[in-house]
Amino acid sequence: MQVGGSLGTAVLGAVMSNTVDSGLKGNWQDAGLPGTPPPGLDKATATGSVPRQIAQAPGVDQGALGRITDVMHDTFMSGMGVAFTVAGVVGVIAAVVATLTKRGVNVEAGAGAAHI
């Protein structure tokens, strides 16, 4: 159970991180923000806060800051959605396998023995 919990968390975290990394640039451009996202913004997206160097940069108005916050939120939620979808698919597959798997009979114990 502990290995499964740790491995599952690591895999879902990797799926979410990959989705955030790949979606941030496209969401940035879709929001009409100039240039490309600053380096390290994908890591900040996981925390949900705009980094101080962006929020306090000269020339950043409140409208742009609001759009950056929206981009970060949308990108984070997209990553979470993909991770939850993967977890749901794995859960359904596990339920189907558990339903179709039959329990074996302990032949060595003889007649009337309990199932394994």
Mean pLDDT, range 18-41, rounded to an integer: 85
Cα separation, 26 vs 112, whole angstroms = 64
Q: Where are the domains of the chain?
A: 2-101
CB neighbour class for 61 (10 Å; exposed up to 12, middle 13-18, buried from 19): exposed
User: What is the DSSP code (8-state) at residue 40?
Assistant: T
Band (20; pLDDT cuts 50, 70, 90): confident
Residue pLDDT, tens place only, 61-90: 778 788 888 888 899 999 999 999 999 999
Whole-number Å distance between alpha carbons of 83 and 36: 25
Contact 82, 56 (CB under 8 A): no
More confident position, 59 or 99: 99
